[in-house]
Homo-oligomer: A and B are copies of this chain.
Amino acid sequence: MNEDFRDTASALVAIGRSFYERGWALGTSGNFSAVIGRDPLRLIITPSGVDKGELTVAQILEVGREGGETRGLKRKPSAEALLHIKVIERGAEAVFHTHSVWGTVLSNVHAPAGGIPIEGFEMLKGLEGVKSHEHREWLPIVENSQDMPALAESVSRALMKYPDSHGFLLKQHGLYTWGASLAQAKRHVEILEFLLEAVGRLHMIKPTV
Protein backbone atom coordinates (compact mmCIF):
# COMPACT_ATOMS: atom_id res chain seq x y z
CA MET A 1 0.00 0.00 0.00
CA ASN A 2 2.70 2.41 1.04
CA GLU A 3 4.68 1.43 -2.00
CA ASP A 4 1.64 1.89 -4.25
CA PHE A 5 1.16 5.35 -2.89
CA ARG A 6 4.81 6.26 -3.35
CA ASP A 7 5.18 4.91 -6.90
CA THR A 8 1.96 6.43 -8.18
CA ALA A 9 2.59 9.72 -6.41
CA SER A 10 6.08 9.85 -7.84
CA ALA A 11 4.76 9.38 -11.39
CA LEU A 12 2.04 11.98 -10.77
CA VAL A 13 4.64 14.47 -9.57
CA ALA A 14 6.83 14.01 -12.65
CA ILE A 15 3.86 14.50 -14.97
CA GLY A 16 2.63 17.54 -13.02
CA ARG A 17 6.05 19.16 -13.28
CA SER A 18 6.17 18.53 -17.03
CA PHE A 19 2.80 20.32 -17.42
CA TYR A 20 4.12 23.23 -15.38
CA GLU A 21 7.15 23.46 -17.66
CA ARG A 22 4.85 23.73 -20.70
CA GLY A 23 2.86 26.55 -19.06
CA TRP A 24 -0.24 24.42 -18.46
CA ALA A 25 -0.22 24.69 -14.66
CA LEU A 26 1.17 28.13 -13.82
CA GLY A 27 0.49 30.03 -10.63
CA THR A 28 -0.43 26.94 -8.55
CA SER A 29 -3.24 26.19 -11.02
CA GLY A 30 -4.18 22.69 -12.14
CA ASN A 31 -4.73 19.55 -10.12
CA PHE A 32 -3.97 15.91 -10.77
CA SER A 33 -5.25 12.67 -9.27
CA ALA A 34 -4.96 8.90 -9.59
CA VAL A 35 -6.85 5.97 -8.10
CA ILE A 36 -4.83 3.74 -5.76
CA GLY A 37 -7.73 1.62 -4.44
CA ARG A 38 -11.31 0.95 -5.50
CA ASP A 39 -12.98 -0.76 -2.57
CA PRO A 40 -13.23 1.54 -0.80
CA LEU A 41 -12.24 4.23 -3.28
CA ARG A 42 -8.94 5.85 -2.42
CA LEU A 43 -7.19 8.32 -4.63
CA ILE A 44 -4.14 10.49 -4.47
CA ILE A 45 -4.46 14.12 -5.43
CA THR A 46 -2.41 17.30 -5.49
CA PRO A 47 -3.14 19.68 -2.62
CA SER A 48 -4.67 23.09 -3.04
CA GLY A 49 -2.36 25.98 -3.75
CA VAL A 50 1.02 24.37 -4.37
CA ASP A 51 3.53 25.45 -7.01
CA LYS A 52 3.41 22.69 -9.64
CA GLY A 53 6.98 23.45 -10.64
CA GLU A 54 8.09 22.37 -7.16
CA LEU A 55 5.61 19.59 -6.60
CA THR A 56 6.94 16.80 -4.37
CA VAL A 57 5.72 13.36 -3.35
CA ALA A 58 5.49 14.58 0.24
CA GLN A 59 2.80 17.08 -0.81
CA ILE A 60 0.52 14.49 -2.40
CA LEU A 61 -2.63 13.72 -0.40
CA GLU A 62 -4.72 10.60 -0.13
CA VAL A 63 -8.48 11.07 -0.04
CA GLY A 64 -11.62 8.90 -0.03
CA ARG A 65 -14.88 9.14 -1.93
CA GLU A 66 -16.14 12.27 -0.23
CA GLY A 67 -12.93 14.11 -0.98
CA GLY A 68 -12.08 14.08 2.73
CA GLU A 69 -8.45 13.58 3.39
CA THR A 70 -7.28 10.33 4.97
CA ARG A 71 -3.56 10.99 4.85
CA GLY A 72 -1.07 13.79 4.44
CA LEU A 73 -2.88 15.96 6.93
CA LYS A 74 -1.03 19.19 6.57
CA ARG A 75 -2.74 20.48 3.45
CA LYS A 76 -6.24 20.72 2.04
CA PRO A 77 -7.01 18.58 -1.01
CA SER A 78 -7.88 20.58 -4.08
CA ALA A 79 -11.34 22.08 -3.88
CA GLU A 80 -11.96 20.38 -7.17
CA ALA A 81 -11.48 16.89 -5.71
CA LEU A 82 -15.24 16.41 -6.15
CA LEU A 83 -14.94 16.86 -9.91
CA HIS A 84 -12.12 14.33 -10.03
CA ILE A 85 -14.29 11.85 -8.17
CA LYS A 86 -17.19 12.36 -10.59
CA VAL A 87 -14.87 11.39 -13.43
CA ILE A 88 -13.33 8.50 -11.51
CA GLU A 89 -16.77 7.10 -10.74
CA ARG A 90 -17.21 6.61 -14.46
CA GLY A 91 -14.12 4.40 -14.60
CA ALA A 92 -11.07 6.65 -15.02
CA GLU A 93 -7.92 5.68 -13.15
CA ALA A 94 -6.25 9.10 -13.46
CA VAL A 95 -7.65 12.61 -13.93
CA PHE A 96 -5.68 15.66 -15.01
CA HIS A 97 -6.89 19.22 -14.93
CA THR A 98 -4.72 21.81 -16.69
CA HIS A 99 -5.03 25.56 -17.25
CA SER A 100 -3.55 26.44 -20.61
CA VAL A 101 -3.83 29.71 -22.47
CA TRP A 102 -5.38 28.06 -25.52
CA GLY A 103 -7.91 26.08 -23.49
CA THR A 104 -8.89 29.27 -21.67
CA VAL A 105 -9.18 31.28 -24.87
CA LEU A 106 -11.19 28.68 -26.80
CA SER A 107 -13.51 27.88 -23.89
CA ASN A 108 -14.47 31.54 -24.09
CA VAL A 109 -14.73 31.81 -27.88
CA HIS A 110 -16.80 28.62 -28.23
CA ALA A 111 -18.93 29.03 -25.10
CA PRO A 112 -22.06 30.09 -27.03
CA ALA A 113 -21.98 26.76 -28.89
CA GLY A 114 -21.53 24.77 -25.68
CA GLY A 115 -18.47 22.95 -26.93
CA ILE A 116 -15.69 22.67 -29.48
CA PRO A 117 -15.87 20.29 -32.42
CA ILE A 118 -12.44 18.85 -33.27
CA GLU A 119 -12.42 16.86 -36.46
CA GLY A 120 -10.15 15.46 -39.11
CA PHE A 121 -6.86 15.56 -37.19
CA GLU A 122 -4.60 12.51 -37.07
CA MET A 123 -3.73 13.53 -33.52
CA LEU A 124 -7.26 12.48 -32.50
CA LYS A 125 -6.11 8.87 -32.85
CA GLY A 126 -4.13 9.33 -29.67
CA LEU A 127 -7.43 9.49 -27.78
CA GLU A 128 -8.30 6.06 -26.43
CA GLY A 129 -10.57 4.09 -28.73
CA VAL A 130 -10.31 6.49 -31.67
CA LYS A 131 -9.21 4.57 -34.77
CA SER A 132 -9.28 7.21 -37.47
CA HIS A 133 -8.59 10.87 -38.05
CA GLU A 134 -12.13 11.02 -39.41
CA HIS A 135 -13.36 10.98 -35.84
CA ARG A 136 -15.27 14.01 -34.59
CA GLU A 137 -14.46 14.81 -30.97
CA TRP A 138 -16.86 17.03 -29.12
CA LEU A 139 -15.21 18.84 -26.22
CA PRO A 140 -18.11 20.10 -24.08
CA ILE A 141 -17.77 23.47 -22.33
CA VAL A 142 -19.29 23.54 -18.86
CA GLU A 143 -20.16 26.89 -17.28
CA ASN A 144 -17.75 27.62 -14.43
CA SER A 145 -18.96 27.93 -10.83
CA GLN A 146 -17.54 28.31 -7.33
CA ASP A 147 -20.33 26.12 -5.91
CA MET A 148 -18.49 22.80 -6.06
CA PRO A 149 -21.47 20.47 -5.58
CA ALA A 150 -23.38 22.39 -8.25
CA LEU A 151 -20.37 22.31 -10.58
CA ALA A 152 -19.92 18.59 -9.94
CA GLU A 153 -23.55 18.18 -10.93
CA SER A 154 -23.04 20.12 -14.19
CA VAL A 155 -19.99 18.02 -14.92
CA SER A 156 -21.93 14.81 -14.29
CA ARG A 157 -24.63 15.93 -16.68
CA ALA A 158 -22.04 16.76 -19.36
CA LEU A 159 -20.37 13.37 -18.87
CA MET A 160 -23.71 11.60 -19.26
CA LYS A 161 -24.78 13.68 -22.26
CA TYR A 162 -21.45 13.15 -24.05
CA PRO A 163 -20.26 9.74 -22.88
CA ASP A 164 -17.81 9.46 -25.78
CA SER A 165 -15.97 12.70 -25.06
CA HIS A 166 -12.41 12.34 -23.79
CA GLY A 167 -12.44 15.55 -21.82
CA PHE A 168 -14.31 18.75 -21.14
CA LEU A 169 -13.50 22.40 -20.61
CA LEU A 170 -14.69 24.54 -17.75
CA LYS A 171 -15.39 27.96 -19.25
CA GLN A 172 -12.46 30.42 -18.92
CA HIS A 173 -10.97 27.91 -16.55
CA GLY A 174 -9.32 24.86 -18.08
CA LEU A 175 -9.31 21.31 -19.35
CA TYR A 176 -10.28 18.07 -17.64
CA THR A 177 -9.23 14.81 -19.19
CA TRP A 178 -8.57 11.32 -17.88
CA GLY A 179 -7.44 7.84 -18.73
CA ALA A 180 -7.20 4.20 -17.74
CA SER A 181 -3.66 4.88 -16.48
CA LEU A 182 -1.46 7.83 -15.64
CA ALA A 183 0.32 7.44 -18.98
CA GLN A 184 -2.95 7.45 -20.90
CA ALA A 185 -4.26 10.49 -19.05
CA LYS A 186 -0.98 12.33 -19.68
CA ARG A 187 -1.27 11.43 -23.39
CA HIS A 188 -4.82 12.81 -23.45
CA VAL A 189 -3.68 16.11 -21.93
CA GLU A 190 -0.92 16.49 -24.51
CA ILE A 191 -3.24 15.60 -27.39
CA LEU A 192 -6.12 17.84 -26.34
CA GLU A 193 -3.82 20.77 -25.56
CA PHE A 194 -2.14 20.29 -28.94
CA LEU A 195 -5.50 20.21 -30.71
CA LEU A 196 -6.77 23.27 -28.86
CA GLU A 197 -3.69 25.19 -29.97
CA ALA A 198 -4.13 23.97 -33.56
CA VAL A 199 -7.82 24.94 -33.58
CA GLY A 200 -7.00 28.32 -32.04
CA ARG A 201 -4.31 29.10 -34.60
CA LEU A 202 -6.60 28.01 -37.42
CA HIS A 203 -9.14 30.56 -36.16
CA MET A 204 -6.50 33.25 -36.46
CA ILE A 205 -5.61 32.40 -40.06
CA LYS A 206 -9.11 31.55 -41.26
CA PRO A 207 -11.58 33.42 -39.03
CA THR A 208 -14.59 31.16 -38.71
CA VAL A 209 -15.88 31.91 -35.23
A residues engaging B (CB < 8 A)? 18, 22-23, 26-29, 51, 53, 99, 101-102, 104-105, 108-109, 120-123, 126, 131-134, 144, 146, 170, 172-174, 183, 186-188, 190-191, 193-194, 197-198, 200-207, 209
Residue in B closest to A108 when the chains form the complex, CB atoms: B202
Contact B101 A51 (CB under 8 A): no
Contact A105 B201 (CB under 8 A): yes
Cβ contacts A to B, 21 pairs, < 8 Å: A27-B126, A27-B187, A29-B191, A51-B186, A51-B187, A99-B122, A99-B194, A101-B194, A101-B198, A104-B198, A105-B201, A108-B120, A109-B205, A109-B206, A121-B173, A122-B144, A122-B170, A132-B146, A133-B144, A133-B172, A133-B173
Contact A203 B205 (CB under 8 A): yes
Counting every copy of the chain, the complex holds 4
From A27, A120, A132, A144, name the one whose CB has the most chain B CB atoms within 10 angstroms: A27
Given the known interface contacts A53-B18, A121-B172, A172-B121, the answer about A28 and B202 at a Cβ–Cβ threshold of 8 Å is no
